[in-house]
Amino acid sequence: MFRKMRRFKQQLSDEDCLAVLQTARRGVLAVHGDDGYPYAVPLNFVFDPAARTLYFHMAVEGHKLDAIERDSKVCFTVMDDGYKVEGDWAWYVRSVVVFGKAKVIKDDAMRDQWLRALAAKYFPPTEDVEEDMRRNAPRALVVAVTAEHISGKLVHEK
């Protein structure tokens, strides 16, 4: 169903893909947008490697939600910060692409669990999390994207 990687020598192991997904700060979600146009938007996320599922939050209305409700198939892409090898000017960058199905979490307790996980990743002062949850959680949706296919590669940008 999913294509094999053409540049297979650059392919990351499953373990490396999961590591990138756990450490990447932001990703880009691509959905089937309005009038057949793709819609890709950067966002914050958390990844649960055991469930091979990523989670992000969004408003209770808007383009992303409309697209997900119309077609749950999505693509999510991340890149690490990259690194250089001494004496080489070009960067090595690992990227990972996740194909999966998006589903809005309906259970409030589960929504709150993943909102707290997002906050733990992005909010340095954790004491602010509960106040933010009290004010904003009821106005937020959390979406789970369960991976059907994950692939990644290491690119040497020359």
Q: What is the pLDDT of residues 5-30, one digit of tens each?
A: 888 888 999 999 999 999 999 999 99
Say if residues 122 and 44 touch (Cβ distance below 8 Å): yes
pLDDT for position 124? 67
Say if residues 90 and 158 touch (Cβ distance below 8 Å): yes
Average pLDDT over residues 91-111: 96
Question: What are the boundaries of each domain within the chain?
Answer: 8-156
Q: What is the mean pLDDT of the chain?
A: 93
Q: What is the pLDDT of residues 110-126, one digit of tens each?
A: 999 999 999 989 886 67
Show the tokens assigned to 84: 């250089």
pLDDT for position 129? 84
Say if residues 44 and 56 touch (Cβ distance below 8 Å): yes
Per-residue pLDDT band at 3 (split at 50, 70, 90): confident
Q: How many CA atoms lie within 13 A of 126 on its CB side?
A: 5
Average pLDDT over residues 50-71: 96
Determine whether domain 8-156 maps to CATH 2.30.110.10.
yes
Under 8 Å CB-to-CB from 107, ≥6 apart: which residues?
none
- pTM for this structure? 0.91
pLDDT for position 51? 97
Phi, psi torsion values for 48, nearest 5 degrees: -105, 105
